[in-house]
Amino acid sequence: MRFYSEQTLQELIRQDYSYAATLHQLGIAFYEYEAEETLASICKQKRLDVKLVIKGLEAAVAKKQKSESLRLPNYGVEVIIAYLRHIHVNFIQRRLPYMATLVKHLQSKDLESPDLVKDLQLFFPLFVEEFIEHIHEEEDGLFAYLLRLHQTAQGKYPAVKLFYELDKSPLKDFAEHHHDSDDEMRGVRELTNQYALTQKSPLLQVVLYEELKAFEYELKVHADIEDHVLLPKGVQLETEVRQMIRKTALFN
């Protein structure tokens, strides 16, 4: 993809909505400008080097196209949890704040329904708060428990200390209720009529809805890793630790 300084915001972002996020990170909040303003004129106003901005866009495209080489099933619990925590940080520090900013700057002209603007601006901050709380509960509960299991299996944590924790293992409860709490985006989908867009949809609406759809996809990938990679390894670790405890009991 080649970028040109005389491209308008409209042309640039409608080619790929994700360019809006990259521009935002480079200091250009696209919603503050008319859609027909060119990249060159905006950079001049912001006193930004248009060549450096274009390099930033090109770098973002290259990063997006780079395939993920990490084969998670081949790694242990420590690496998988570190990877999931990295995703959590990205959600909390970058993805959610950016989407919250888009929602905050919505005006009645940006959506087909003025009432929808009010609803989203009321609902989305609550969604973000609950989502972050869910992440902290997951890290402080499930992740911490699995890391203790891993340390025990490695002989770095006394197996007897996990005796009572094993009886109250969070794995079964997580597996049973994960799908119930997994569809955090249901309320957002219902508000936005399944992210419905038309050819006449304003640019800010297009960017916001596409970001929401992308975030929902990322959540599904994240949940699949937890359900199909992390949990089976956790069950295996529990089995190993229980066997260690039994052997310790036989020798005492």
Q: Give the largest CA-CA distance in the chain.
A: 79
Q: In whole angstroms, what separates CA 193 from the centre of its chain?
A: 21
* The amino acid at 125: P
Contacts of 11 (CB under 8 A, 6+ apart): none
7-51 residue pLDDT tens = 998 899 999 999 999 999 999 999 999 888 999 999 999 999 999
Q: What are 135-184's pLDDT values in tens digits?
A: 999 999 999 999 999 998 888 887 777 777 887 888 877 776 665 545 77
Strand, coil or helix: 38: strand
DSSP 75: S
Q: What are phi and psi of 38, to 5 degrees?
A: -85, 160
Under a CB-based contact definition with an 8 Å cutoff, are residues 117 and 108 in contact? yes
Length of the chain: 252
3-state class (DSSP) for residue 194: coil
